[in-house]
Amino acid sequence: MTPRNQQHTDPSAATDSLRAALAAAGIVLPSLAVDTASPHLGLVELGRVRADVAAQLAEALRVGGRA
């Protein structure tokens, strides 16, 4: 099963959108970037984060999912 819009989503736009959404929640993923190693796959590199940032991200997703 192909995720919706996988073929039509620009990785740069997706990265910018995610960065803005995370910033609005007070979260920074320092390694967030377009994965240039596999441009044909359209991947976004999320990188590694500290445990407290991962917990913050999880909470933001939980709260945002209830809106």
Specify the pLDDT at position 45. Answer: 96
Q: Which parts of the chain register pLDDT below 70?
A: 1-7, 65-67
Taking the domains of the chain in order of start, what are their residue ranges? 6-64
Residues 6+ apart with CB under 8 A from 25: 56, 57, 60, 64
- Helices first, then strands: H and E counts in the chain: 2, 2
Specify the pLDDT at position 4. Answer: 58
